[in-house]
Every structure is written in structure tokens, then in C-alpha cells.
Structure 1
Amino acid sequence: MKIGIANDSAMAAEALRRVIAASEHQVAWIARNGRDAVRLCADLPPDLVLMDLAMPVLDGIEATRQIMRAHPCAILIVTANPQDQPGQVFRALGAGALDVTATPVLLGQADGAAALLAKIRTIGKLVAGAAAHAGAATAGAAAAAAAPTGPLKRLVAIGASTGGPVVLARLLSRWRPPPDTAAVVVQHIDAAFAGRLAQWLDGQAISPVRPICDGDALEGGVVQLARTNDHLRLAPGQRLHYDAHPRDAVYRPSIDVFFDSVARHWERDAIGILLTGMGRDGAAGLLALRRAGKATIAQDQASCAVYGMPRAAAELGAAERILAPDAIAAVLPGASAASGASSILRTDD
């Protein structure tokens, strides 16, 4: 891949250049500030930009936003100590960046370059469209395994990728799952940042946001968030488990895997929601939910940072409704009557 580097630190930029030069990729250009990165993306379009967050003239968040608006390309946030600046990281992801990792020169570990190249390889597969359905769940009709127990009546299953954190924050700041409704989110993000994402969303949302531990039960009135690179599955008995298989899945955790498990093991009302993201993950799973008689929604193109996954769902006929985030919040169970919108659920539990 042709890779652009946007970093105002000469040491960091040189470290990134060396990592790329020692790989099968090539450096397209080096920008010392966000404004130059935006210009170079227009003049010499790269396959991927390694974008720092703190830069003069134009920071990485705004540069990402402008690039995705005018000259879209894959963007990986590479910055010092990303774990210490979760708000900026998630705003950059919301602006359209695909993922985040620490600058190798500042990691102080021999595996820093290997970690960066692994991220680049994964993004390369997404950009090329290779293995778009790798590990995706079969989109066949659900085979219910066991009736759910307990007071829960509904499940809202949400999948998101590129641009997802900011959209999730907006959605969850406008919607509170009622006590009889479980809400589970699968967001494509490295496990190292999943806990931080849960904390950040918890500060934005009306309801508590909690990371999911293996074996946790579905819980009403809160938002539960997948927290590992393994795939989240719903098992009979309303328990949530992580599974490393399929190991060759490009998307980890896979939204398709989770949606398909809901289609198979949840007999009551459910809504599947597929938000912004690159690729096709979640489209087949959303179709499985629709074929199982569940309600399904995809985010509309105008509000998406990247209209990949929702587009794939629309093309498959998996989404009953295509809505902006505020409109999604307005049709969910427990939405304020003042919104004037009716719930998407069709039953009267």
C-alpha cells in the first residue's frame, strides 16, 4: 500500500517511515501538520494515512474529518499514549478513522513495529475488500434453541465500526433502554481500547454502559459493550460468551457472528441496528435477524462517516428502515412519547 504519514514530530515520523520502508509497503509522503495532510490526500491520494492527533495548524481530528469529507481514504490514528486521551481518540474514530495504535518509537517495546504492521495488514484487507465475508455468519433463517427466561421482553442489538463511537454516543444520549429491554453493542475496536470506550460512552449516555465479561447475563436498563477481540455470542439462557472462532475473520469482534446468535437463540422481540462502518460486516447478520422475524434498522448514508456496512445491508434487503441516529433513537422501546414516533416493535408486550 501507499502510505501517507501525518506527524509533526521528526522522531515519530522517522520511526514510522522506517517501519514502512522495511515492509512491503511504501511511504507516499510525510506531512508535518493536518492541513498539509489534507492537501496531500487531494494531490497524491494514498491508500492509508497514519494520522497523529496533536499537530499544529490543523489537528488530527479535524484533518480526518476534512479528508473523509473531500478525499476519503483509510486513516489509522498513530499517536503517543492513546490510552491517556480517550476523548480525542473516540472523536477521531467518529470522524472516520478506522483504528488507533501507539507510535512505535514511543512504545518502548520491540513489538511496536509488529503491532503497527498488523494493523496495516488488517486495514489493507478492508480497503481491498478481501475476505469481506470471512467468518461471517450464515444469513439463513434462525433455529431457536431455547426460550428465554426472566423478565426481559426485548433485545436491542447494535453493531458499529468506522465512525461508530460518536454515533453511539449520540444515540445513547437520546435513548434509555427500559428495564425490560437489554441493549448490546458490538463496536469494531481494539480490545486495548474497549474498556476506555465503555467509560467514555458511560459519560455520554443516559443509561450505564458496562463492558461485557464472559458469561455475563443480558441485563435490562443498561447498555452492554463487547470488550475483547474475540467474537461475542448470545447463548441459550440469555448468557453472553466470547469465542475465538472463526479465527480468520477480518472483523473482530464480528457483528455478523453476534447478530446471527441473536437470530438463533432469542425468541422474543428484538431490533437489530447496523451503524456506520467500512466493509460488509453485520449485513448478513442483519438479514438473519430479519428472516427470524426481528425488526431491523440501518443508518442512513447522509449521517454515516463511512457508508459501507449499512449500504451492504440495504443492498441485501436486510434493513426494514434506513434512518439517521436521532430517528433511530425515536423509534426504540421506551423512546419519549414527545418525539411523536412510534416504536418499531410490532408486538404489545
Structure 2
Amino acid sequence: MNIGIVNDSPLAVEAMRRAIALRAEHRVLWVATDGAQAVDFCVAQPPGVVLMDLIMPKFDGVEATRRIMAQAPCPVLVVTSSVGANAWRVYEAMAAGALDAVDTPTLADNRLGDSSQPLLAKIDQIGRLLEKPAVAPAPRPGVIVARGAAPLIAIGASAGGPGALAAILGQLPADFGAAIVMVQHVDKAFAEGMAQWLDGQTELTVRVAVSGDTPKAGEALLAATNDHLYMTRSGSLDYTPEPAATPYRPSVDVFFHSVVEYWRGDAIGVLLTGMGRDGAIGLKAMRAKGYRTIAQDQASCAVYGMPKAAAALDAASRILPLGSIAAELVANIKR
């Protein structure tokens, strides 16, 4: 994979160079020392992935990510000295379109040691996302649950998703009459903090989904592990490692298919900005069952991948700009 590095620290750049050199299939395409240069380089020589620092001259990694997604979309992995210490900036970068985040490897006694492995693992995961995705399994035969106490809004998102989720949740009233379950491609290390961040953007209660939770009106639950969230036959939520082969973790398709299989109440499927195709087949299955389905339009997406795949499959009954989705949900739930 061709890799672009964006970092103004020579030591950090050298550490990443040495980590990348451990894999013969990877090479450094270019190094940018500020956000503006990064955007220019992405336009001139698009890399397979950008390793993006957060704090830089001219403009920071969040703004650089936002401009890259607008001018030359490509996968962005935030690589910063401390993900934990920069958690809020990480969420902002993900809202702008970054896929994930990892700590910068360190140079110790001129050896990388194990500090390079998390970075290489994230690069490998992004590489799998760029490959043709595995098809989500067909729903298993089973007993359908009784009608839910509240309609269900099932939302899937990836790159750019945190910002899109915040925009939708922020426009929903405190007395919104549907339960919400969100599957965002995010590492479990960030899920709890992201739920707290989203909770501050809305009058609804937002928290991570725990095994055994039952979706209820006025509450938005966020998938929170590297396993897949799914609806059980009893109508509660749980996690499963299967299918293990899918690079999308947690998988939107897995959750959407489980809704089709086990949720008898009213439901609306929503597929937001994201790279790849995860969720498109599941959204199609939701529409085929008679559920309303919505895909975000190209103009308002940070990355027009997942909604584009849904549109190609005719999986969405409505294709809407981000700013119109909340109103559409409110109008349909009041019916």
C-alpha cells in the first residue's frame, strides 16, 4: 500500500517510516509537514492511506481531513502521540471523515519493538476495507419477536459518521417516539467516549449498547465493541464475533439483517456517510420487508461510499441530504 505521512515531528516521521519498512508490501509515498501540504499532496498523488497527525502548523489534522475528503477522498488514519489525551480531537477527525486512530509508534534504543504493531494492524484493517467486502450472511431461520413497544430507527455509518450522527440526533426532540440503535465503524477503545460526546449533542439519552439491552423510545444506543451488534429473537441486543471474516467491525449489515429477522415492530433503516459497502445489502433487505429506508445523499456525505452502494442497489426509498433526515424521521414516527 502507498502511504502518505502527515506530521511535523521528524522523530514521529522516522518512527512511522521504520514501522512501514517492516512490511515489504507498504511504502511511504510522501511526507507532508502541515495540513495544507497534506491536502495538496493528496490531490497530486493520492495514497492508499494517510497517516494524519492532529496538531500541526497552518491547519490541524481535523481541518486537513475535512479538506482531503472534499477534494481528494482517501482513507485517513489518525496517528497521534496520545489518542487518549486527544480524544475529543479524534472524534472531530472521525466526524470529518477519518476512519480510525492509533498512537504514534516510538523510537526506543533505535528499536521499534512492539510499538509498531498497533499501527501496522490498523493499516492492515484499512487495507481489508478497501478490498471487496464479504457478503453478510443471510438471516438465520428463527422465531420473530412480538411487536416492539416503540418503532426502531436502525442507523449505520462509517467515515464521517460521528458528525452525521450528531447532526441527526441534535435535531430530534426529547419526546421522540422511537428507539435508536447506531452501528458506527469505530474501535471499542473510542466507543464509550463517542457515546458521551454524542450525548452532549442531543436532548435524547445516548449510551453504549450493553448485551441484554432492549431498545426503547427516547434513548439512542451505540454499538460498543469490535464484535457485531445484533438483535436477538427476544428483541434484546447482543454481540457476536461472527462473521469473523468481515473487515467491517461492528458490521452494519449484520445488524440490519438481524432487524429484518427478529423485529416485528415498525422500523426505519438509515445509511449514512462511509467508505465501502457495509450496510447496503442489509438496507436492501429492510426495504424488501416493507420498512422505510433512507440513504444520505452524495453532496452531504464526507465519504460517498456506503450510501452510494445502497443507491446502486435501489435499497433506499428516500435519498436525502443530512440536514433533512431528522425531519423525515420525526414526520414518519408521528404517523
TM-score range, shorter chain: over 0.9
State whether structure 2 residue 144 is matched by structure 1 residue 146. Answer: yes
Q: How does 1:194-233 map to 2 (within 5 A)?
A: 194-233=191-230
For 1:269 and 1:106, locate their aligned partners in 2 and report how far apart those are by CA, in whole Å.
55
Aligned length: 332
Aligned to 2:30: 29
The answer to whether the aligner puts 1:136 opposite 2:133 as a matched pair is: no
Report the 3-state secondary structure (helix = DSSP H, G, I; strand = E; otherwise coil) of the residue aligned with 2:319: strand
* Aligned 8 A contact 1:135 1:246 in 2: no
**Aligned with 2:68: secondary structure?**
helix
Look up the equivalent residue of 1:115 and give its one-letter code: P
How far, CA to CA, are the matches of 1:93 and 1:324 in structure 2? 19
Post-superposition shift, 1:135? 5.1
Against the structure 1 CA distance between its residues 281 and 272, is the aligned structure 2 distance closer, same or farther, given a 3 Å change threshold? same
The aligned amino acid for 1:182 is: A
Match of 1:9 in 2: 9
What's the secondary structure of 2:143's corresponding residue?
coil
The equivalent position to 2:306 in structure 1, one of 305, 309, 312, is 309
| Residue 189 of structure 1 pairs with residue 186 of structure 2 | yes
Matched, 1:81 2:78: no
Distance 1:38 1:301 in 2: 21
Contact 2:205 2:220 in 1 (8 A): yes
Letter in 2 for 1:147: V
Q: What is the rounded CA distance, in whole Å, between the counterparts of 2:213 and 2:298 in structure 1?
A: 34
1:290 counterpart = 2:270: no
Q: For 1:174 and 1:105, locate their aligned partners in 2 and report how far apart those are by CA, in whole Å.
A: 43
For the residues of structure 2 that align with 1:106 and 1:213, how far apart are their CA atoms? 38
What amino acid maps onto 2:61 in structure 1? G
Code of the residue aligned with 1:31 in structure 2: it is: A
Is the alpha carbon distance of 1:176 and 1:242 closer, same or farther for their aligned partners in structure 2, counting shifts above 3 Å?
farther
Q: Summarize the Cα distance change of 1:309–1:85 in structure 2 as closer, same or farther, 3 Å threshold.
A: same
CA distance in 2, matches of 1:89, 1:199: 14
Unmatched runs of 5 consecutive residues or more in structure 1: 336-341
The CA deviation string for residues 211-244 of structure 1, in whole angstroms up to 9 with x for no partner, is 0111222222110110001000101222100000
**Contact 2:147–2:265 under 8 Å retained in 1:** no
Q: TM-score normalized by structure 1?
A: 0.90
Matched residue, 1:102 = 103
Q: Write out aligned runs for 1:217-296 (5 A).
A: 217-296=214-293
Contact 1:177–1:183 (8 Å) recurs in 2? no
Moved over 6 A (4+): 106-109
Contact 1:144/1:266 (8 A) holds in 2: no
Looking at structure 1, the residues matched to 95 and 87 of structure 2 have their Cα atoms a distance apart, in angstroms, of 12
- 1:49 match: 50
1:309 Cα deviation after fit = 0.5
Q: What SS class does the counterpart of residue 104 from structure 1 fall into?
A: coil
Matched letter for residue 58 of structure 1? F
Counterpart CA distance in 2 for 1:73 and 1:228 is 25
The residue type paired with residue 132 of structure 2 is A
SS at match of 2:106: helix
Deviation for aligned residue 1:89: 1.1
Percent of aligned pairs with the same amino acid: 51
Selected match of 1:111 from 90, 99, 114: 114
Amino acid corresponding to residue 252 of structure 2 in structure 1: I
- Equivalent-residue separation in structure 2 for 1:218 and 1:149 (angstroms): 12
SS of 2:15's equivalent in the other structure is helix
Compute the displacement of 1:83 (Å). Answer: 2.0
Give 3-state SS (helix, strand or coil) of 1:11's partner: helix
Alpha-carbon distance change, 179 to 72 in structure 1, aligned in 2, over 3 angstroms? closer
Q: Is the 8 A contact 1:80 1:106 kept in 2?
A: no
Using the TM superposition, give the Cα deviation of residue 99 of structure 1 relative to its aligned residue in structure 2, in angstroms: 1.3
- 1:179 deviates by 6.4
Distance 1:269 1:144, change over 3 A: farther
Gaps of 5+ in 2: none
Shift of 1:109: 9.2
| 2:127 maps to which of 113, 124, 129 | 124
Give, as a single letter, the amino acid of the residue that structure 2 aligns with 1:69.
Answer: A
Distance 1:257 1:109, change over 3 A: farther
Determine the C-alpha separation between the residues in 2 that align with 1:247 and 1:18. Answer: 30
Q: Which amino acid aligns with 1:94?
A: A
Does the C-alpha gap of structure 1 residues 217 and 248 become closer, same or farther in structure 2, counting only changes over 3 Å? same
Do the aligned residues in 2 keep the contact of 1:149 with 1:238 (CA within 8 Å)?
no
CA positional deviation for 1:137: 3.4
Q: Distance in 1 between matches of 2:3 and 2:112?
A: 23
Q: CA RMSD in A?
A: 2.1
Distance 1:25 1:52 in 2: 19
Supply the AA of the counterpart residue of 1:259.
F
Query: How far does residue 71 in structure 1 lie from its aligned partner after superposition?
Result: 1.8
The whole-number CA distance in structure 2 between the counterparts of 1:295 and 1:178 is 21
